[in-house]
Copies of this chain bind each other. A is one copy, B any other.
Amino acid sequence: MTLSDATGLLRGAGLRVTEPRRAVLEALEGLPHASADAIHAQVVRTLPDVSLQTVYNVLRDLTGSGLTRSIEPGDHPARYELRVGDNHHHLVCTRCSAIVDVDCVVGHAPCLTPNESHGFVLNEAEVTFWGLCLDCQAAVGLASDPVPSTH
């Protein structure tokens, strides 16, 4: 993300342009699905005085303005992403917490309409797929079966 991209996004959202805000946007480009803590760690590499509290403030404002989206998988700390407005979903690794995006299945909006809505007016269907990522499959395989079996 270029400096002017971030500036334009902030202006467009009616937010003041500040260094911490630009830095958080830039960090999120390189670290999709990062936690506040991880974003902070990245931001302080260029702006050493930015506090974690500021990162929380910035993420609150960005999310409130629709520039970022927060996801809260299970009991993990919240993660943030730049990809907004396309209602995509997530794969979460149960072992290492890696997260990757998955597009919503197109054609029949599969999960947006439950059988019975019990009178609820729905505005979002959130889908989280839990499983083992490739790396963790390998790691678990090694741990439980260090010598590849030939059977």
Contacts and interface: CB of A to CB of B under 8 A. Distances in A.
Interface of A: 72, 74-75, 78, 89, 91, 93-94, 100, 102-103, 105, 110-111, 114-134, 137
A102 B112 CA distance: 12
A117 to B, nearest CB: 7
A121 B115 CA distance: 27
A93 B111 contact: no
Q: How many copies are assembled?
A: 2
Nearest to A94: B123
Contact of A120 (B72, B93, B123): B93
Contacts of A123: 94, 130-132
Given A72-B74, A111-B110, A129 B121 contact: no
A35 to B, nearest CB: 13
A63 B34 CA distance: 29
B89 A114 contact: yes
A110 B105 CA distance: 9
A112 to B, nearest CB: 8
